[in-house]
Amino acid sequence: MPERPGLHSFTPHAEHFSPFGLPVMDMIEWVLLLLVIGTVLLAWKYFSLRMTLERKAASLFEEWKAKRMESEVNERAGHLHREWALREEARVRRDAIEMSGAVLKGKVTEHLTPYFPEFSYDPRDARFLGTPVDLIVFEGLSAGSLERITFLEVKTGKTGALTQRERQVRVCVEKGLVRYEVLHLGKDA
């Protein structure tokens, strides 16, 4: 091709063509080095973020697991408490029925004691008091000759234990701390 006047022929040589004044091969090495450094930095940042995210996820999972376990424990405890309460309520009801039956039986027996064969006094001499002693027996009163006054406590249960009040009455009677008084009320009474 013939050269035109005023135009120079331009043939780039690899070692002379560079926008920064570096040879092209040196520039490629720098670009590759920068790409490797950039890739390493990106990889480091990626793994750093990934580790942070994994730690956060593990922390959130442990928190969720703890709440879930606490919730399950509370639910199980509530369930066990309800079961126990139902069992105990049934037992308490049975015991109350048995106790009320036993108490009722005892009260009826206390009233009817003077008519039982085991009662060694004249039933007409017995007066029901109920508390703190069950009966007061005026021995011989119905026959016209009072010989003695007896405080009588009737026990029907398995144990014949006296209550504290019953023991106090017994002690007073045994010590002779008993008296007789007449109370005169006013005219209007």
Of 115, 131, 160, the residue at which a domain comes to its end is 115
Q: What pLDDT, on the 0 to 100 scale, is given for residue 12?
A: 52
Instruction: State the residue range of the domain holding 62.
Output: 20-115
Could you tell me if 134 and 152 are in contact, meaning their C-beta atoms sit under 8 angstroms apart? yes
Look at residues 159, 33, 165, 1 and name the one whose alpha carbon lies nearest to residue 151: 165
Assess if residue 141 is contained within a domain: yes
Total domain count, the chain: 2
Which residues, 6+ apart, have CB-to-CB distance to 3 below 8 Å? 9
Assess if residue 5 is contained within a domain: no
The average pLDDT across 89-103 equals 82
User: Same structural domain for residues 104 and 170?
Assistant: no
Residue range 33-43, pLDDT digits in tens: 899 999 999 99
User: Same structural domain for residues 40 and 91?
Assistant: yes
Assess if residue 187 is contained within a domain: no
Which residues, 6+ apart, have CB-to-CB distance to 133 below 8 Å? 151, 152, 153, 166, 169
User: Same structural domain for residues 39 and 85?
Assistant: yes
Number of DSSP helices (H) and strands (E) in the chain, helices first:
2, 3
Element (H, E) at 137: strand 135-139
Residue type, 174: E
User: Same structural domain for residues 123 and 68?
Assistant: no
173 vs 110, residue with greater confidence: 173
Report the percentage of the chain scoring pLDDT > 90. Answer: 45
Residue 22: which pLDDT band, with cuts at 50, 70 and 90?
A: low
User: Same structural domain for residues 77 and 91?
Assistant: yes
Residue 97 has pLDDT above 90, yes or no: no
Q: What pLDDT, on the 0 to 100 scale, is given for residue 4?
A: 57
Residue range 163-172, pLDDT digits in tens: 899 999 999 9
Question: How much is the pTM?
Answer: 0.48
Q: What pLDDT, on the 0 to 100 scale, is given for residue 95?
A: 83
Assess if residue 103 is contained within a domain: yes
Q: What pLDDT, on the 0 to 100 scale, is given for residue 54?
A: 94
Half-sphere exposure (Cβ direction) of 38: Cα atoms closer than 13 Å: 6
User: Same structural domain for residues 103 and 129?
Assistant: no
User: Same structural domain for residues 82 and 122?
Assistant: no
The average pLDDT across 20-48 equals 84
Assess if residue 179 is contained within a domain: no
Q: What pLDDT, on the 0 to 100 scale, is given for residue 1?
A: 52
Residue 19 has pLDDT above 90, yes or no: no
Residue 23 has pLDDT above 80, yes or no: no
Q: What pLDDT, on the 0 to 100 scale, is given for residue 174?
A: 92
The average pLDDT across 11-32 equals 65
Could you tell me if 123 and 141 are in contact, meaning their C-beta atoms sit under 8 angstroms apart? no
Of 115, 134, 153, the residue at which a domain comes to its end is 115
- What helix, strand, coil percent values describe the chain, rounded to 5? 55, 5, 35
Residue 25 has pLDDT above 80, yes or no: no
